């Protein structure tokens, strides 16, 4: 007896046959597993940002109340930028690697044009530095975006010269002339702290590109000489350096005022701190408490334990970033990720070193934590680039149990 097998009817044009399968594939891409480096970098960035919001509130509530303002005003402004920056970080993490290679030149040009706005009527000068612009009552620091744009551009140029990195003129041209021109736009505004970070970005990119040591030393010496000349030509910076070298710091009411109060804040916190919100230095004794000296407020209110937590979070961030650098096979990813890591981790170490009086006062904020919307936004976007690179790494899948073959029933 023969049976007739009927074929399924073709799907009608109004109802595609594989819509359910397509939906499952689409959701699979959205919820695809990510490498552990992605989770490590993103979680530490989120934790540091949240920690920073709490400390900005703790550092500004007293002075805001004394000035007749709402105690939450500074924190709410920072929260707005965090609410924008964190989603943007995860959106940027979805961008493909090819996008960053194509966008390197346009982003650098746009960042330079944005930086040049500080020399227009929109520019604002503060503490001898002209590095801000003000539009409709909102201030921004364009040089913060130069850091990421310069890292991407140097990474692209060194990628194209990958086979010629042993020849000095291929390494230096056009990397050094263009980098010096970009840094000069910040140098003209007398912002030494940002100039130091930009120099570190370029040196970090050269180091992770695999340039020979003898070729790497020359740009390092050039950068050091440029920074030294820039420092000694400013009386204000000379005073900061001299007060840093003077361990007694007798000029209390001038250049020593803020460094001494930063040290006193850390000393007053001890091991366990005075308690969250109980800082004494934030009562207008420490002028830059929510900005460059927020680490001092952390030490005073949360003690050595709080400072250790901050250092541990930055260390975990560095571990995740260095794993991306080590595991990638793409020279562009290695160079740009190295430059971003040197920027964020190096800037954090410089800021903490200034508070501890290891370095003279440089005006460098603590990434993710210091008050400042532009700095927070640029740092989170840079993290998004690192997360985009982390997505290109292979994901280790757990071994599936071996199933025994099914027995085929005999007819």
Over residues 21-60, the pLDDT tens digits come to 444 434 445 566 788 899 999 999 999 999 999 999 999 9
Lowest-confidence range among 54-58, 97-101, 404-408? 404-408
Distance (Å, whole) CA 146 – CA 185: 10
3-class SS at 272? coil
Q: What is the pLDDT of residue 329?
A: 92
Q: What is the pLDDT of residue 162?
A: 85
Distance (Å, whole) CA 31 – CA 342: 31
pLDDT(111) > 90: yes
pLDDT band at 247 (very low <50, low <70, confident <90, very high): confident
Q: What is the pLDDT of residue 34?
A: 82
Assigned token pair, 166 = 């042993």
Per-position DSSP letters for 100-154, written without gaps between them: HHHHHHHHHHHHHHHHHGGGSTTEEEETTEEEEEEETTEEE-THHHHHHHHHHHH
Q: What is the pLDDT of residue 220?
A: 82
Backbone angles phi, psi at 317, to 5 degrees: -60, -45
More confident residue, 288 or 245: 288
Query: Residue for token digits 């130091």?
Result: 196
Mean pLDDT, residues 346-364 taken together: 92
Identify the bridge partners of residue 133 per DSSP, sorted by sequence position.
123, 140
pLDDT band at 407 (very low <50, low <70, confident <90, very high): very low
CA atoms within 13 A on the CB side of 179: 33
Q: What is the pLDDT of residue 21?
A: 44
CA 378, chain centre distance (Å)? 6
Q: What is the pLDDT of residue 397?
A: 57
Distance (Å, whole) CA 310 – CA 53: 13
Over residues 200-216, the pLDDT tens digits come to 999 999 999 988 887 77
Q: What is the pLDDT of residue 337?
A: 97
Q: What percent of the chain has pLDDT over 70?
A: 88
Q: What is the pLDDT of residue 240?
A: 77
Mean pLDDT, residues 70-84 taken together: 93
Domain ranges of the chain: 34-390
Mean pLDDT, residues 251-263 taken together: 82
Average predicted confidence (pLDDT) for the chain: 86
pLDDT(253) > 80: no
pLDDT band at 322 (very low <50, low <70, confident <90, very high): very high
Q: CB pairs under 8 A, 24+ apart, for 233-242?
A: 234/128, 234/190, 234/192, 236/128, 237/192, 237/360, 240/360, 240/361, 241/360
Q: What is the pLDDT of residue 30?
A: 57
Q: What is the pLDDT of residue 379?
A: 96
pTM over 0.85: yes
Q: What is the pLDDT of residue 399?
A: 47
Identify the bridge partners of residue 140 per DSSP, sorted by sequence position.
133
Over residues 126-166, the pLDDT tens digits come to 777 888 999 887 889 999 999 999 999 999 999 998 888 87
pLDDT(334) > 70: yes
Q: What is the pLDDT of residue 225?
A: 85
Mean pLDDT, residues 77-94 taken together: 96
Largest CA distance in the chain: 110
Q: What is the pLDDT of residue 31?
A: 62
pLDDT band at 231 (very low <50, low <70, confident <90, very high): confident
pLDDT band at 396 (very low <50, low <70, confident <90, very high): low
pLDDT(410) > 60: no
pLDDT(320) > 90: yes
Q: What is the pLDDT of residue 205?
A: 94
Mean pLDDT, residues 379-397 taken together: 90
pLDDT band at 257 (very low <50, low <70, confident <90, very high): confident
């Amino acid at each position: 007896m023969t049976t007739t097998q009927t074929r399924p009817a073709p799907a009608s044009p109004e109802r595609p046959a594989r819509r359910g399968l397509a939906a499952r594939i689409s959701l699979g891409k959205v919820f695809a597993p990510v490498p552990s480096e992605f989770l490590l970098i993103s979680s530490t960035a989120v934790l540091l940002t949240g920690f920073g919001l709490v400390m900005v509130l703790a550092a500004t509530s007293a002075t805001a109340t004394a000035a007749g303002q709402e105690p939450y005003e500074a924190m709410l402004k920072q929260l707005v930028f965090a609410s924008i920056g964190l989603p943007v970080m995860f959106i940027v993490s979805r961008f493909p690697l090819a996008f960053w290679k194509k966008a390197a030149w346009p982003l650098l040009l746009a960042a330079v044009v944005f930086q040049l706005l500080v020399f227009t009527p929109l520019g604002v000068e503060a503490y001898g530095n002209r590095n801000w612009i003000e539009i409709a009552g909102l201030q921004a620091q364009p040089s913060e975006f130069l850091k990421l744009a310069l890292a991407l551009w140097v990474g692209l140029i060194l990628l194209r010269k990958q086979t010629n990195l042993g020849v000095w003129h291929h390494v230096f041209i056009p990397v050094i002339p263009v980098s010096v021109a970009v840094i000069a736009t910040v140098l003209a505004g007398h912002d030494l702290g940002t100039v130091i970070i930009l120099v570190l970005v370029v040196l970090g990119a050269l180091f992770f590109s695999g340039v020979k040591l003898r070729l790497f030393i020359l740009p390092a010496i050039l950068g050091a000489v440029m920074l030294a000349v820039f420092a000694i030509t400013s009386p204000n910076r000379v005073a900061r350096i001299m007060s840093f070298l003077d361990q007694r710091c007798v000029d209390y009411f001038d250049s020593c005022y803020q460094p001494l109060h930063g040290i006193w804040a850390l000393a007053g916190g001890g091991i366990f701190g005075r308690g969250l919100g109980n800082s004494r230095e934030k009562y207008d004794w420490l002028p830059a408490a929510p900005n460059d000296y927020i680490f001092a407020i952390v030490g005073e209110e949360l003690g050595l334990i709080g400072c250790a937590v901050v250092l541990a979070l930055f260390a975990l961030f560095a571990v995740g970033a260095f794993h991306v650098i080590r595991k990638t096979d793409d020279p562009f990813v290695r160079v740009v990720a190295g430059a971003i890591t040197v920027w964020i981790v190096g800037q954090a170490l410089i800021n903490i070193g200034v508070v501890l009086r290891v370095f003279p006062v440089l005006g460098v904020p603590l990434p993710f934590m210091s008050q400042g919307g532009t700095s927070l936004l640029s740092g989170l976007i840079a993290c998004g680039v690192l997360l985009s690179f982390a997505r290109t790494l292979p994901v280790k899948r757990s071994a599936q149990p071996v199933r025994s073959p099914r027995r085929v029933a005999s007819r």
